[in-house]
């Protein structure tokens, strides 16, 4: 598309939808990331509907949010337990749950997806919601590694589609990568940027390139730590200690891999390897593949590189 045509397309598509002030958010996926985003959005006065595939998962997510809020309150309201309890009650009132995304997107300003890292599944979800969500609703994905452009291609709202990439644990991590594709309108991008700020986060602008900024640097680093261990050049414990004490990182690469989820890490590296097979930074790891094949995904399953109670 020529520069001129591109500008016209942007102008036309964005004229229909001016800056949307995001107040009502539908978050799809109540796992680690979705529940964390829901907590932060509800804590900052947004109305949130959290969607997942079963009531059991949603109950677990709601419990997790409440538990996390209790930890926040312990610190923030140390001298005022009643005010703390009131805060939790108020935040929880901002969160409702559903197993039917299509039924709850009416009236939502933003659909933010944090489901399994699988392109076809994400495309299927958004294609369905595109038909029922209001015209002004912006769609965003929290994907760690998939091109936002590819996810958005399943919808007819390319100008109202972007990336909002949060970090784990969401309540603690201050960064949000706000991703614009070549079709994302300036208005939609600004709405996503302002929403990130309203959550109390610091946004950075990213292009729709693999891994955006943080993961493009972090994933090759973690993979190289595994390869270093595979070559027998250091134990995982020593590598973790070395990077914490020598580089000042809060977690070593193996601790971080277990925290992120080895399944997620493998998914990312598999995708990048398929995209650019000759790139040594994107090479496979037999050790990672074996752990994932054994269902050892890290902290969330009780075992990864380390064991957890």
Binding status of residue 115 toward ligand NAD by CB under 6 A: yes
Q: How many CA atoms lie within 13 A of 173 on its CB side?
A: 15
Token pair for 183: 């079709």
As beta bridge partners, residue 140 has: 112, 162
Do residues 200 and 44 touch, judged by C-beta distance below 8 A? yes
Closest CA to 138 of 78, 194, 220: 194
Secondary element (H or E) of residue 140: strand 138-141
Neighbours of 3 (CB within 10 A): 7
Query: Closer to ligand NAD at the Cβ: 124 or 200?
Result: 124
Q: How far is the CB of 279 from ligand NAD (least distance, A)?
A: 20
Tell me whether residue 246 is exposed, middle or buried, using C-beta atoms within 10 angstroms of its C-beta: 0 to 12, 13 to 18, 19 or more: exposed
Binding status of residue 123 toward ligand NAD by CB under 6 A: no
User: Quick check: is 98 catalytic?
Assistant: no
31 labelled binding-site residue:
yes
Site residues (CB under 6 A) for ligand NAD, limited to 169-228: none
Catalytic-labelled residue, pool 142, 144, 191, 196:
144
Asked if the bond preceding 169 is cis, omega within 30° of 0, the reply is yes
# chain residues binding ligand NAD, by CB under 6 A: 26
**Which residue among 9, 153, 168, 284 contacts ligand NAD (CB under 6 A)?**
168
Query: Closer to ligand NAD at the Cβ: 47 or 99?
Result: 99
Site residues (CB under 6 A) for ligand NAD, limited to 133-162: 142-144
Binding residues: 29-34, 52, 68, 75, 117, 122, 144, 168, 300
Q: Which residues bind ligand NAD (CB under 6 A)?
A: 28-34, 51-53, 57, 114-117, 121, 125, 142-144, 166-168, 260-261, 264
Active site amino acids: 144, 165, 177, 215
């Amino acid at each position: 598309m020529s520069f001129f045509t591109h500008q016209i397309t942007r102008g036309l598509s964005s004229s229909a939808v001016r800056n949307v002030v995001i107040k009502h958010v539908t978050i799809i996926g109540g796992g680690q990331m979705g529940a964390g985003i829901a907590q932060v959005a509800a804590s900052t006065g947004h109305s949130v509907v959290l969607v997942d595939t079963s009531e059991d998962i949603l109950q677990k997510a709601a419990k997790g949010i409440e538990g996390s809020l209790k930890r926040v309150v312990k610190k923030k309201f140390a001298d005022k337990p009643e005010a703390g309890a009131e805060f939790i009650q108020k935040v929880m009132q901002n969160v409702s749950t559903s197993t039917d995304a299509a039924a709850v997107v009416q009236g939502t300003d933003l659909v933010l997806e944090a489901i399994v890292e699988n392109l076809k599944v994400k495309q299927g979800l958004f294609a369905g919601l595109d038909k029922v969500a209001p015209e002004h609703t912006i769609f965003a994905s929290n994907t760690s590694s998939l091109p936002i452009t590819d996810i958005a291609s399943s919808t007819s709202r390319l100008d109202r589609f972007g990336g909002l990439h949060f970090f784990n644990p969401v309540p603690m991590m201050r960064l949000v990568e706000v991703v614009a594709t070549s079709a994302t309108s300036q208005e939609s991008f600004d709405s996503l940027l302002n929403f990130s700020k309203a959550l109390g986060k610091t946004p950075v602008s990213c292009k729709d390139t693999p891994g955006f900024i943080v993961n493009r640097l972090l994933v090759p680093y973690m993979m190289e730590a595994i390869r270093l261990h595979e070559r027998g050049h250091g134990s995982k414990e020593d590598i973790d200690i070395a990077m914490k004490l020598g580089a000042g990182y809060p977690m070593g690469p193996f601790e971080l891999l277990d925290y992120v989820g080895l399944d997620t890490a493998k998914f990312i590296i598999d995708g990048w390897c398929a995209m650019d097979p000759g790139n040594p930074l994107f090479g496979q790891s037999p050790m990672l593949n074996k752990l994932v094949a054994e269902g050892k995904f890290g902290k969330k399953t009780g075992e990864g590189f380390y064991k957890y109670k």
